[in-house]
Structure 1
């Protein structure tokens, strides 16, 4: 069911999901940053900012193409991220590119392999993602790379700021709902570590689903 009008109640529920998705971790010194490919060039910019602030000595950009990024990043997400980071002052020698990943699990697994190929075995990872994807990225890394300590980071944007950057409020709420579905369901499939979902977050999720914010759901 399509939702034509977004009400204040929907916005309150969306903020509940937004707040839950963000881990609230402060960036700190880590062995490597991994910028997770997507449609959002802000991930590349924030990764570059973290490198230039001295948080990490090395960056991996991970991502190939998906139907939502092929037109925006025709040479692949990681390649375009690398180019943006270099233009933002990150030296090429500090960047590794993983150009094949098509989902978050592959971002983690393939980045780990690229690091190993270059002789790196990090003990801590600064995982840089879209703001609403922090928790899912964290849960995925916990499941697939449990040996590393994970710190999550993203552009310091409010929900209102992020919505303005996307330009489509309905789509943003759909993305918040879709990511929470994955946080809830992926552990059963072995894709992610279980996360505690508070009652109020689950209730907000159920209300938004019932209101038709469902275009980013996965269907089994």
Structure 2
């Protein structure tokens, strides 16, 4: 190969990296045929919005909810994460009429709390607990996302969908 590295060693490193990736991606469930919303948690990485757009275009849900204000990695941005992510999704073909934005959350717990309140208002109900939700977040945040949804949205039917390993460069 000429790289100066042992090919078997490199293959082992790749296998180990894939295992760590899978573990960090958390307890994901299979995607449903359809869901009510795609819930995109705030991030400094617009690829989560692009991934949500792919799910939207695949017909998995008619509504994409972006949640995020200014977090640790985005405190110097001039606009909330939700607005930046919504712009990325719009560039990927998701119409604004199919989006809701929550722009105050600064962490994963607040993403869930504030989005739950937004969904109650949008669907005009006290407990929108029968919604099918696809949550989209960076893979290393999926375990936290899953835990927050379980804690704060009891009774929701939910699915978790991180980016795939090949989507990250």
Structure 2 counterpart SS, 1:118:
helix
Quick one: distance in 2 between partners of 1:58 and 1:35?
Answer: 11
Alignment of 1:56 with 2:61, yes or no, is: yes
In structure 1, the partner of 2:21 is: 18
Contact 2:41 2:135 (8 Å CA) reproduced: yes
- Higher helix proportion, which one? 1
List gaps (5 residues or longer) in structure 1: 1-6, 166-220
Following superposition, the deviation at residue 130 of structure 1 comes to 0.3
Alignment of 1:44 with 2:49, yes or no, is: yes
Aligned length: 154
In structure 2, the partner of 1:99 is: 103
1:142-157 mapped onto 2 (5 Å cutoff): 142-157=150-165
Alignment of 1:89 with 2:97, yes or no, is: no
Structure 2 counterpart SS, 1:27:
coil
1:125-136 mapped onto 2 (5 Å cutoff): 125-136=133-144
Relative contact order, higher structure (CA 8 A, sep 6+): 2
- Alpha-carbon RMSD across the aligned residues, in angstroms, is 2.2
List gaps (5 residues or longer) in structure 2: 1-8
Following superposition, the deviation at residue 13 of structure 1 comes to 6.2
TM-score (norm 1): 0.63
Quick one: distance in 2 between partners of 1:84 and 1:16?
Answer: 30
In structure 2, the partner of 1:76 is: 80
Following superposition, the deviation at residue 18 of structure 1 comes to 2.2
